[in-house]
Amino acid sequence: MFQLLPALSLLSTSVYRDTPGYVDPADNGGASLAYLLSPTYPPGQREPLNIIISGKSDPAVLEDQINNGGLKNYFLSLNFSTNCFSAKDVTAVQVANLGDGNGDRNQTEVMRYNFGNADNGACTEVIDGGNHFRYWRQNGSDANTGAVFIASSYEFPLDKSHDIVPNGYNLGRDYIVGNITKSTVPTLDLTQDGARYSGATSYGGYTYNTTINYVSGLLSNTSIGINHNATVEIPGVTNAVDGLVAVFEVSITGRPDGTTASPANSRSMSASATTSGGSEDGTPTTYAPSLAFMYTITGMILTIALGQQGW
Ligand SMILES: *[C@@H]1O[C@H](CO)[C@@H](O)[C@H](O)[C@H]1NC(C)=O
Ligand SMILES: *[C@@H]1O[C@H](CO)[C@@H](O)[C@H](O)[C@H]1NC(C)=O
Ligand SMILES: *[C@@H]1O[C@H](CO)[C@@H](O)[C@H](O)[C@H]1NC(C)=O
Ligand SMILES: *[C@@H]1O[C@H](CO)[C@@H](O)[C@H](O)[C@H]1NC(C)=O
Ligand SMILES: *[C@@H]1O[C@H](CO)[C@@H](O)[C@H](O)[C@H]1NC(C)=O
Ligand SMILES: *[C@@H]1O[C@H](CO)[C@@H](O)[C@H](O)[C@H]1NC(C)=O
Ligand SMILES: *[C@@H]1O[C@H](CO)[C@@H](O)[C@H](O)[C@H]1NC(C)=O
């Protein structure tokens, strides 16, 4: 029995490795496009799911939690925080069907670029604009890959009603990749052939290695039917959606002293032999209660001022 266990885990790992770590939502009635619950013009415009965190990533990263190096801690390593305090309540809800048998599901959460300030930087993004994303987990019983599907876009400031900047879907994706690799992704020169990158990020004592593989076939290279398409496409230069999805495979290559990988993490533990360096230490900073209070008040004022506006 004891000798069987390693054999069994080897078997499940090798089955896992043969798949890309996600299932194309369109294979089973879904789509790599989210729709909005609020009205669009024309009606029914959608937004691209342009990043996937593959189910082949470290199982700890695929857990939607901040502890144990989980997804929220990984997002913090990318300088993305949960929404700005009470402003969360009025963030527009988007819906996606990942073809996993769960049907239409509201976004799990919205994450906002925090400019390196984990505590309240997301409020800066709400006011000044910037990168943000919604995400969904492919965890229904028909395709329980554990993959995380992300719809990223770069938005204008609040006083421009949070419209998406020109090329803002493709750029939202590529700024995240560029932040991981510390070098600008040549968005307008990407081809269907599939660029590959990798980089290290860290937060809270955890270091992550993300390998990135651009894939085509999940999204169309088009502006038709895409939300804000008239202003996001750059005529003659790029469609609102260039048809590429950046697939991330994330491993944990460093963890705080005294913590260990869970037994399920055998694949990522072997990857930790190739540890990389050169990442910032993302130790959480503390902030004074008065500042927290100020941001809460700001959030409340925003909440009242904005009503159901789509941000
Ligand atoms: C999805 O979000 C909408 C808008 O907030 C809400 O009315 C609805 O109840 C949510 N659906 C589920 C299943 O949570
Ligand atoms: C996060 O922000 C900090 C502070 O600006 C910066 O030093 C770091 O490189 C950023 N990390 C990523 C992954 O962009
Ligand atoms: C799937 O993920 C969502 C979002 O994190 C979660 O609410 C739900 O419980 C998960 N479903 C299962 C079966 O784990
Ligand atoms: C990092 O992200 C920020 C915010 O989205 C963006 O302004 C910047 O250009 C990105 N850096 C790279 C190298 O892509
Ligand atoms: C998308 O299509 C346009 C033509 O409409 C083309 O110029 C561009 O290279 C394509 N982009 C990719 C990533 O294939
Ligand atoms: C991440 O891991 C891959 C595969 O092991 C490796 O090729 C790459 O060099 C690593 N990247 C970094 C930045 O450590
Ligand atoms: C935007 O999408 C609609 C379809 O929903 C289409 O009729 C319109 O031509 C598109 N606009 C652009 C600029 O592509």
Closest Cα to residue 171, out of 200, 127, 122, 131? 131
Q: Which pLDDT score is estimated for 310?
A: 43
Burial category of 226 from C-beta neighbours within 10 Å (exposed 0-12, middle 13-18, buried 19 and up): buried
Measured from the CB, is residue 239 less than 6 Å from ligand 5? yes
Measured from the CB, is residue 280 less than 6 Å from ligand 2? yes
How many other β-carbons are positioned within 10 Å of the β-carbon of residue 213? 17
Measured from the CB, is residue 285 less than 6 Å from ligand 6? no
User: Would you write out the chain's pLDDT as a tens digit for each of its 311 residues?
Assistant: 344 444 443 333 334 345 789 999 999 999 999 999 999 989 999 999 999 999 999 999 999 999 999 999 999 999 999 977 655 555 689 999 999 999 999 999 999 999 999 988 888 888 888 999 999 999 999 999 999 999 999 998 887 777 899 999 999 999 999 999 999 999 999 998 899 999 999 999 999 999 999 999 999 999 999 999 999 999 999 999 999 999 999 999 999 998 888 655 433 333 332 223 323 333 333 333 334 444 444 444 444 344 334 44
| Among protein residues, the one whose CA lies closest to atom 11 of ligand 3 | 139
- Amino acid at position 8, single letter: L
Phi, psi of 184 (to 5 degrees): -65, 130
Residues with a CB atom less than 6 Å from ligand 1: 37, 93, 106
- Amino acid at position 181, single letter: T
Q: Which pLDDT score is estimated for 14?
A: 37
Q: Which pLDDT score is estimated for 173?
A: 98
